[in-house]
A = this chain, B = another copy of it.
Amino acid sequence: MLEASRGWRVGGHTIGLVPTMGALHAGHMSLVERACRDNSRVVVSIFVNPLQFGPGEDLDRYPKSPDRDLDLLQRAGVAAIYKPTAQAMYPPGASTRIQVLDVADPLEGAARPGHFEGVATVVAKLFNATEPDRAYFGQKDAQQVAVVKRLAIDLDTGIEIRVCPTVREADGLALSSRNAYLGPQERKAAGCLSAALGQAALAYRAGGRSLDEIRLRILGTLKAEPLARVDYVELVDPLTFTPPGTLAVMAVWIGKTRLIDNHDLAQPFPG
């Protein structure tokens, strides 16, 4: 991979990287399309990274659609699909770990111990293997974006992190490979996340309500949905991921599926 990428660089190309775990949906493809507009060579990595899954999480049943992924990426015109095996990424003896302190600690970091260490480690490996000019991440995983931005700067990668908006279903549900876990009733119920964010954005932008009041309103909307169980709802600063701030972030269990979503309340909610 590195040889190919350096060959492109020597040939005068710019290189964009889109890291994914496969099971591609329109959210991923919006990143790929943006990368193809910005760069003359685009690499899409597909790697379900065991290091970022905790014990009891869904590593073993994470959705896979290799044929469809290949078809989508070929039609999008990417230069390479980088699809290493877990054995190649973490051979016996591999023992280097990357931690991003502070921003990786709360919320997703607290709920999923080791998750962001796994993300940071694999992202640094993918950056080194592809040496891109730019790398593309979805706003859907807002805290991951903050962690990766910090890492890209701190490790002197010279890589520009470009963040693309969350792509949503007609009812507002943020696209996620994990939506495939939802049964029909759960799928309907899952609309409560984006509904709560949309209502909160309206209330915040109308003015007159404190961030605390807005947070309680979001909690109220979520709790009105019988199939939903709230993990966290916080209004945080988008760089530090600590309160106070206008970035509403949430993790909500719908049955056995854990969904996350977020929206900056200072911005109109789409749709």
Contact = CB atoms under 8 A, between A and B. Distances in A.
Interface of A: 2, 6, 9-10, 12, 93-103, 120, 124-126, 128-129, 131, 150-151, 153-158
Contact of A124 (B10, B99, B155, B158): B155
Number of copies: 2
A101 B94 CA distance: 9
Contacts of A98: 96-99
Nearest to A159: B128
A193 to B, nearest CB: 29
A107 to B, nearest CB: 16
A158 B97 contact: no
Contacts of A2: 156, 158
A131 B129 contact: no
B96 A150 contact: yes
6 contacts: A95-B103, A96-B120, A96-B151, A98-B98, A126-B156, A128-B158
A221 to B, nearest CB: 34
A183 to B, nearest CB: 40
A163 to B, nearest CB: 18
A147 to B, nearest CB: 9
Contacts of A9: 6, 9-10
Contacts of A156: 2, 125-126, 128-129
A95 B154 contact: yes
A158 B129 CA distance: 8
A89 to B, nearest CB: 8
Q: Which one of A98, A102, A131, A156 has the highest number of Cβ atoms from chain B below 10 Å of its Cβ?
A: A156
A126 B158 CA distance: 12
Q: Which one of A12, A94, A95 has the highest number of Cβ atoms from chain B below 10 Å of its Cβ?
A: A95
A125 B155 contact: yes
Q: Which one of A9, A128, A150 has the highest number of Cβ atoms from chain B below 10 Å of its Cβ?
A: A128
A80 to B, nearest CB: 15
A121 to B, nearest CB: 8
Contacts of A158: 2, 128-129
Given A6-B9, A9-B6, A155 B96 contact: yes
A128 B86 CA distance: 24
Contacts of A99: 96-99
